[in-house]
Amino acid sequence: MSNLSGAPAPLGRNLALRVSLMPKDTNVHGTIFGGILLAHLDIAGAIATRPHCDLVVTVKMTEVIFHEPVYVGDVVSFYTSVTKIGRTSITVHVAVEAQRYGDPGTFVKVTDADIVYVNVGEDRRPTPITRREAASV
Ligand SMILES: CC(C)(COP(=O)(O)OP(=O)(O)OC[C@H]1O[C@@H](n2cnc3c(N)ncnc32)[C@H](O)[C@@H]1OP(=O)(O)O)[C@@H](O)C(=O)NCCC(=O)NCCS
C-alpha cells in the first residue's frame, strides 16, 4: 500500500495532515521552528479524535521528541493513532515524517508525540465519550 507521495502507508495509522512549511516558519538555524511543529501536532491529533468526539481541548502533550530537523520545502506528514480512550479523555500518538525537498525518495521520521485531549461540552467542561468504536475521518 502507498500514499500519494509514494511513501509506504504505515499500518494502523491515519494520515491526518500533510503540510509543506515556508521560510517564515524557521528558527535562527534556518530549520523549521519546533513551535510550528507543535501547533501542527496538536491539530493532527485533534483531527484523530473526530470519530469519537465533537469538541476537545488539549490537556497534555508528552514525549514530544524531535528526532531530526525539518527543512523548508519538506513535505511533512502527520500520522495518528488513538492509543487510549478513557471516560472523558482520549490519547493520540502522532508520528511525523518528512519527505525531503529536492529528494522525494527520502522519507525521514522527524518527530513523535503523545497528546491527551479531553472531550468537552459547550460549557467547556469534561463530558463522557460515547462514540467509542473506531471510525474513519
Ligand atoms: C482539560 C480540562 C477541561 C480538564 O478539567 P479537569 O477539571 O481537570 O477535569 P477532570 O479532572 O474531570 O479530568 C477530565 C479528564 O482529563 C484527564 N486529565 C486531567 N488532567 C490531566 C493531565 N494533566 N494529564 C492527563 N490527563 C488529565 C483526567 O484523567 C480525565 O480523564 P478520564 O475522564 O478519561 O479519566 C481543564 O483542565 C481545561 O480546561 N484545561 C485547559 C484546556 C486548554 O485550554 N487547552 C489548550 C487549548 S485547546
**Atom 46 (ligand 1) nearest CA:** 58
Q: Are 118 and 57 in contact (CB under 8 A)?
A: yes
126 touches ligand 1 (CB under 6 Å): yes
Q: Are 57 and 124 in contact (CB under 8 A)?
A: yes
Question: For the sheet containing 56-66, what is the strand order?
Answer: 14-20, 75-85, 89-99, 107-119, 56-66
Q: Are 40 and 17 in contact (CB under 8 A)?
A: yes
Is the pLDDT reported for residue 137 higher than 70? no
Tens of pLDDT, residues 50-73: 999 999 999 999 989 999 999 999
Average pLDDT, the chain: 91
Burial 44-53 (b: 16+ CB within 10 A, else e): bbbbbbebbb
59 touches ligand 1 (CB under 6 Å): yes
Find the helix or strand (DSSP H, E) in which 115 lies: strand 107-119
CA of 26 to the centre of ligand 1 (A): 32
Give the atom of ligand 1 at the shortest distance from the alpha carbon of 42. 48
87 touches ligand 1 (CB under 6 Å): yes
The distance between the two most distant Cα atoms of the chain, rounded to a whole number of Å, is 48
Q: Which of 13, 105, 111, 132 is closest to 69 using CA atoms?
A: 111
CA dihedral 24→28→30→33, nearest 10 degrees, is -60
**Residue of 118, 123, 125 best suited for mutating to test ligand 1, as the one with most atoms within 8 Å of CB:** 118
The domains of the chain are located at 14-119
Give the atom of ligand 1 at the shortest distance from the alpha carbon of 90. 34
Report the predicted TM-score, pTM, of the whole model to 2 decimal places: 0.91
Strand partners, 78: 17, 96
Split at pLDDT 50, 70, 90, the class of 117 is very high
Give the atom of ligand 1 at the shortest distance from the alpha carbon of 59. 1
The predicted structure's pLDDT at residue 33: 96
What is the percent of the chain where pLDDT is above 70? 88
Split at pLDDT 50, 70, 90, the class of 133 is confident
Domain 14-119 sits in CATH at 3.10.129.10
